Amino acid sequence: MSEQPYYVPESSKLPFLMAITMLVFIIGSAQTVINLDNPDSNAYLILIAFFIMLWTVMYFWFREVIRENHAGLNNPMLKDSYVYGMAWFIFLHQELCCAMVRWRRRKSHIQYFMAWI
């Protein structure tokens, strides 16, 4: 076991702000698609607001991570948790993509057979 204690960062508002940013992205994308045939629509401005919000939240989030690293709060156990977290993310993303491909293939077969009925 490591002699250093595991570092738990203090509470932050950044994950909540990122969730709000993703909500703005969903709304902006939907409004842009809905208003594609309307040249007078300003729905694209919501997407511009999304990109501004995204880069702002990412800037402050990475700034906080860099400050923690420079303060020496990262220890080998925390670095291992970063590695394991990224490995789980890659694994689950791969599984999700494979499941979607399997679902699309099954759906296309069902549609093919339903066309003959």
**How many whole angstroms separate alpha carbon 22 and alpha carbon 15?**
11
Nearest to 64 by CA among 6, 7, 2, 12: 12
User: Cα angle vertex 79, ends 75, 85, to 5°?
Assistant: 145
Look at residue 117 and tell me whether its pLDDT is greater than 60. Answer: no
Question: Could you read off the pLDDT of 22-55 as tens digits, one per residue?
Answer: 999 999 999 988 988 888 888 889 999 999 999 9
Distance of CA 20 to the CA centre of its chain: 12
- Determine the pLDDT at residue 11: 85
- What are the sequence ranges of the domains in the chain? 11-74, 75-117
**How many whole angstroms separate alpha carbon 64 and alpha carbon 47?**
26
